[in-house]
Amino acid sequence: MGQKINPLGFRLGTTQSHDSIWFAQPTKYSENIQEDKKIRDWIKNYIQKNRRISSGVEGIGEIKIQKRIDLIQVIIYMGFPKLLIEGKPQKIEELQTNMHKKLNCVNRKLNIAIVKVTNAYKHPNILAEFIAGQLKNRVSFRKAMKKAIELTEQAGTKGVQVQIAGRIDGKEIARVEWIREGRVPLQTIRAKIEYCCYTVRTIYGVLGIKVWIFSK
């Protein structure tokens, strides 16, 4: 019963493609995976430190990495690129040089590009960040979930499901709450489903947020 699979891995090769594209020999494979993780973590931390305080959302949709022998191409899909770039175009160059030093890639060039996501709240990562921000500000979880669903419907999706698990509203017993609007056909491989799981640290403990969005 209930054999659950990650909706992204389930659709690889049909509606979903890999976030990292490179080729490595078996001995170097784990190094490359660790390098990808470092790049993603470093970018997220940098944007968190340099964003404007007023907005609680980092706005990173996804980070795609393509590697060649002499080049690492990193594409950051952002819902709100203004948070990073506004008035400071040198920020990307600074990020690029810092990362180049940290990765210690002497023979390879590092190139970072930022792409704006048209409908930000069509992306589960950005939506999960929004919910996390609301929960940190002690907003009722039901209100946060309903607001999130409203935002995705405005972005023009066919269906959305949001799940929050943990000590919701500071209750002593952890539980799982979820809400669905529209269709979310997880068993249909042709259906383009965007998915993410996000961890948020609140004063009561850690909550897990999962978001499924059926875009087309």
Domain ranges of the chain: 7-114, 118-212
Long-range pairs of 2-6 with CB within 8 A, sequence gap ≥ 24: 6/195
Q: Which pLDDT score is estimated for 65?
A: 94
The fold for domain 118-212 equals Ribosomal protein S3 C-terminal domain (3.30.1140)
Q: Which pLDDT score is estimated for 88?
A: 61
Closest to 105 measured CA to CA, from 41, 44, 40, 39: 39
Instruction: Give pLDDT tens digits along the chain (216 positions).
Output: 778 899 999 999 898 999 999 999 999 999 999 999 999 998 888 887 776 654 556 678 889 999 998 889 999 888 877 666 655 667 778 888 888 888 877 788 888 888 888 888 888 999 999 999 899 888 999 999 999 999 898 888 899 999 999 999 889 999 999 999 999 999 999 999 999 999 999 888 999 999 999 988
* Dist CA 86 CA 122 (whole Å): 23
Residue 30 CB-density burial (10 A; 0-12 exposed, 13-18 middle, 19+ buried): exposed
- Decide whether 7-114 matches 118-212 in CATH topology: no
Taking domain 7-114, whether its CATH number is 1.10.3720.10 is answered by no
* Dist CA 28 CA 85 (whole Å): 35
Q: Enter the pTM of the model.
A: 0.87
Inter-CA distances, 66 with 8, 32, 75, Å: 19, 11, 8
